[in-house]
Structure 1
Amino acid sequence: MPPTCSVLDFFEGGSDSCISAHTLFLCLCPTRETLVAPWCAAVSCRVWCPGVMAVPRGIEISAGQRGFKRELRSTMTDTKAWTGTTMKAFIVLALFAVAYAAPIEDDKIVGGYECRKNSVPYQVSLNSGYHFCGGSLISSTWVVSAAHCYKSRMSVRLGEHNIAVNEGTEQFINSAKVIRHPRYSSRNLDNDIMLIKLSKPATLNSYVRTVSLPSSCASSGSRCLISGWGNMSSSGSNYPDRLRCLDAPILSDSSCRSSYPGQITSNMFCAGYLEGGKDSCQGDSGGPVVCNGQLQGVVSWGYGCAQRNKPGVYAKVCNYNSWIRSTMSSN
Structure 2
Amino acid sequence: MTLRWCCKVGEYYSHEGRVRSSIPILNKLCTRPEGSSNHQFRKKRLIDSTSYADRPLSIFQASYIVNILRSGVSYCSGTILSNSIVITAANCVNERNVNYIILSGSLSRHQGKIHIIKRILKHPRFNPRTLTYNLALIRVFPYFQFGLGKLNQPIPLHSPVYIRPGTPLSFGGWGCVRTIPKILFPDELKMSRIPLMSRQLCQQYYREAVQIGEETICALDKNSKVGSCLGDEGGPLVRNYELVGVFSFRKGILNGRNPEIFTDVRNPGIRQWITSTMQNITMWVSYPRPHRKN
Q: Residue 276 of structure 1 contacts residue 310 of structure 1 at CA under 8 Å; is this kept in 2?
A: no
The aligned counterpart of 2:134 is 192
The aligned counterpart of 2:228 is 280
* Match among 110, 132, 138 for residue 47 of structure 2: 110
The aligned counterpart of 1:158 is 104
After superposition, the CA RMSD in angstroms is: 2.6
Flag structure 2 segments of 5+ consecutive residues without an equivalent.
18-28, 35-42, 282-294
The aligned counterpart of 2:81 is 138
The aligned counterpart of 1:179 is 121
The aligned counterpart of 2:65 is 123
Q: Give the aligned residue type for 1:208.
A: N
Q: Residue 228 of structure 2 contacts residue 255 of structure 2 at CA under 8 Å; is this kept in 1?
A: no
SS for the counterpart of 2:187 is coil
Q: Residue 232 of structure 1 contacts residue 239 of structure 1 at CA under 8 Å; is this kept in 2?
A: yes
Q: Residue 82 of structure 2 contacts residue 154 of structure 2 at CA under 8 Å; is this kept in 1?
A: yes
TM-score, reference length from structure 2: 0.75
SS for the counterpart of 2:222 is coil
Q: Give the aligned residue type for 1:254.
A: Q
Say how many residue pairs are matched: 243
Q: Give the aligned residue type for 2:197.
A: L
SS for the counterpart of 1:136 is strand
Q: Residues of 2 paired with 1:232 and 1:110: CA distance?
A: 5
Task: Name the CA shift for 1:234/1:304 in 2 (closer, same or farther; >3 Å).
Answer: farther
Q: Residue 155 of structure 1 contacts residue 174 of structure 1 at CA under 8 Å; is this kept in 2?
A: yes
* Match among 260, 278, 288 for residue 206 of structure 2: 260
Q: Give the aligned residue type for 1:224.
A: L
SS for the counterpart of 1:322 is helix
Q: Residues of 2 paired with 1:210 and 1:54: CA distance?
A: 35
Flag structure 1 segments of 5+ consecutive residues without an equivalent.
1-23, 25-52, 62-67, 69-88
* Match among 144, 162, 166 for residue 221 of structure 1: 166
* Match among 91, 108, 111 for residue 148 of structure 1: 91
TM-score, reference length from structure 1: 0.67
Q: Residue 134 of structure 1 contacts residue 284 of structure 1 at CA under 8 Å; is this kept in 2?
A: yes
Task: Name the CA shift for 1:227/1:56 in 2 (closer, same or farther; >3 Å).
Answer: same
The aligned counterpart of 1:90 is 12
SS for the counterpart of 2:66 is strand
1:259 CA displacement: 1.1
The aligned counterpart of 2:273 is 323
The aligned counterpart of 2:252 is 304
Q: Residues of 1 paired with 2:222 and 2:215: CA distance?
A: 20
Q: Residue 111 of structure 1 contacts residue 279 of structure 1 at CA under 8 Å; is this kept in 2?
A: yes
Q: Residue 234 of structure 1 contacts residue 304 of structure 1 at CA under 8 Å; is this kept in 2?
A: no
1:321 CA displacement: 1.1
1:210 CA displacement: 0.6
Q: Residues of 2 paired with 1:98 and 1:200: CA distance?
A: 25
Residue 209 of structure 1 pairs with residue 160 of structure 2: no
Q: Residue 109 of structure 1 contacts residue 230 of structure 1 at CA under 8 Å; is this kept in 2?
A: yes
Task: Name the CA shift for 1:297/1:234 in 2 (closer, same or farther; >3 Å).
Answer: farther
- Alignment of structure 1 residues 239-250 onto 2, 5 Å: 239-250=185-196
The aligned counterpart of 1:33 is none
Q: Residues of 1 paired with 2:254 and 2:227: CA distance?
A: 5
SS for the counterpart of 2:159 is coil
Task: Name the CA shift for 1:283/1:187 in 2 (closer, same or farther; >3 Å).
Answer: same
